[in-house]
Amino acid sequence: MKEFKKGDHSWFVHDRFGMFIHFGLYSLPARHEWIQRFEEISPENYQKYFNNFNPDLFDASAWAKAAKNAGMKYVIFTTKHHDGFCLFDSEYTDYKCTKTPYGKDILRQVVDAFRQEGLRIGLYHSLIDWNHRDFTIDIYHPLCKHPDKDKLNAGKNMANYREYLHRQTREILSNYGKIDILWYDFSYPGSEGGKGHEDWDSQNLVELIRSIQPEILLNNRLDLPGSGDIITPEQSTPENPIVDESGNPVVWEGCQTFSGSWGYHRDEMTWKSEKQCIDMLINHVSRNGNLLMNVGPNGRGEIDSRAMTRLEQFGKWMKYHSESIYACQAAPAEFKEPRDCRYTWNPETRKLYLHFMNWPSNYLILPDMQGRIAYAKFLHDHSEVQFAENNSSVLHGNLAVRAPANSVTLKLPTNAPEPVVPVIELQIN
């Protein structure tokens, strides 16, 4: 496998929590960002969303503040999604926000506002483009069932699209200051009518990217093994840290939605609960991952109240518990997670964070921890958590039971503390 230059991971594995934003023409129909494909809408019929694009309440600094207050440290914003609509003022197309009734460069406002709040900037850019006249009709294209598909394809030249993709990559990486992450989406090689590294000329694309932004982090969707800095599972949470072929842990970031759709979806009702969202964040970090949590602002440019509520709930939990997230990672194997708990570990401070995904009441036994704990406290109020070592007897109902040898027994309140997921900090000797 070819060796590729790598980006700078150091900040990324510290910051752990970012905001994904899917915003575009699909925010108007409000029925999923793949609506053009799902409903097989021709470019002519999709044009009405372009003609009506005018997010009058769009306020990038409100988005940035919402992200910051949630505890997020970076943003990844859609410069272009599969429908081809550009949220930046590209020299190479008129299919862009500056030509809609709205008329202004949205990306410019996003990067300025998020930087202002101290967040890092990532750009999502679709490799797929259903609007470009030379992008061939493939299995995912809205016109894939068009009776004259082959005839239409005969007149297309993917080389022109490739050039467009490279030029636009140069634009977004040159005209908007330092970009910390480039997040391409996506390759689907192999099957007939798929597309992969040859279609994008991924090899030269990577060189171009590194020549403009040497430290940038690149995701792994270019169909070019070894070129990605970040593995990007989507809408699923790995059970264990992700490892490479040699078993070494890799840097990964799980991207997740509040409700299944990435773009604003008015009628989608499967919203995850507050607890599910907080659990997700912990589940990612406890397995060495980052959480990239998506919002899909609506056609007026607002993050709706359902998403705002969840962001605020993240913020509330993070206010008291961010120490168990930032700079943390999976705990070393010697610390075995007790039932219904997740550990995160800060190797610098040697603090082990015990997250209660379910409250056990009265006590919790930590196996093989005798002599390891110097002090224990809840994060939310810094109240001390007393513990007993080794063969201590604990009251189990009205039965005294003996904890196993070498264990530590934490003495816990009967009722769960207030936070949706309480956390105990264990200072390790």
Residue 405: CB atoms within 10 A of its CB come to 10
Q: Which is nearer to ligand GLC, 128 or 366 (CB)?
A: 128
The one among 53, 186, 264, 363 contacting ligand GLC by CB under 6 A: 186
Say which residue the tokens 């790598």 belong to.
Answer: 6
CA distance 372 to 412: 19
Q: Report H helices in 71-132.
A: 106-116
Round to whole Å and give the CA distance between 204 and 185.
Answer: 17
> 78 or 93: whose CB is closer to ligand GLC?
78
CA pair distance 124, 80, nearest whole angstrom: 7
Assess 255 for contact with ligand GLC (CB under 6 A): yes
Contact between 403 and 358 under an 8 Å Cβ cutoff? The reply is no
CB of 51 to ligand GLC, least distance (A): 23
Site for ligand GLC contains 83 (CB under 6 A): no
Q: How far is the CB of 73 from ligand GLC (least distance, A)?
A: 19
* Rounded Cα gap, residues 125 and 127, in angstroms: 6
Enclosing H/E stretch for 307:
helix 305-321
Q: Taking CB under 6 A as the rule, does residue 268 contact ligand GLC? A: no
CA distance 248 to 225: 16
Q: Rank residues 7 and 24 by Cβ distance to ligand GLC and give the closer one.
A: 24
User: Cβ of residue 261: shortest distance to ligand GLC, in angstroms?
Assistant: 9
Assess 33 for contact with ligand GLC (CB under 6 A). Answer: yes
The reply to whether 23 sits near ligand GLC by the rule CB under 6 A is no
The residues with which 408 forms a beta bridge, in sequence order, are 366, 389
Element of type H or E holding 46: helix 43-51
Rounded Cα–Cα distance for residues 50 and 340 (Å): 49
Least CB distance to ligand GLC at residue 121 (A)? 17
Kindly report the backbone phi and psi dihedral angles of residue 424, in degrees, each rounded to the nearest multiple of 5, phi listed first.
-110, 130
Q: Which is nearer to ligand GLC, 79 or 407 (CB)?
A: 79
Q: Which of residues 60 and 127 has its CB atom nearest to ligand GLC in the complex?
A: 127
Measured from the CB of residue 263, what is the shortest distance to ligand GLC in angstroms? 7
Binding residue (CB under 6 A) for ligand GLC from 40, 163, 215, 234? 234
Of 23, 49, 262, 345, the one binding ligand GLC (CB under 6 A) is: 262
Q: How many residues form the binding site for ligand GLC (CB under 6 A)?
A: 8
On the question of a cis peptide bond just before residue 20, with omega within 30 degrees of 0, the verdict is no
Q: Minimum distance between the CB of residue 67 and ligand GLC, rounded to whole angstroms?
A: 17
Choose between 33 and 229: whose C-beta lies nearer to ligand GLC: 33
In the complex, the smallest distance separating the C-beta of residue 22 from ligand GLC, rounded to whole angstroms, is 6
Taking CA 384 as the corner, what is the angle to CA 383 and CA 388, rounded to the nearest 5 degrees?
A: 150
Q: x/- contact string, 35-74, with ligand GLC (CB under 6 A)?
A: ----------------------------------------
3-state helix, strand, coil in the chain (%, to 5): 25, 20, 50
CB of 186 to ligand GLC, least distance (A): 5
Distance from C-alpha of 85 to C-alpha of 126, rounded to nearest angstrom: 10
The reply to whether 304 sits near ligand GLC by the rule CB under 6 A is: no
Q: Build a one-symbol-per-residue string for 352-391: x at contacts with ligand GLC by CB under 6 A, - elsewhere.
A: ----------------------------------------
The answer to whether residue 185 forms part of the interface with ligand GLC (CB under 6 A) is: yes
Rounded to whole angstroms, what are the CA distances from 154 to 84, 85, 149, 169, 177?
21, 24, 9, 26, 39
Residues near ligand GLC (CB under 6 A) are 22, 33-34, 185-186, 234, 255, 262
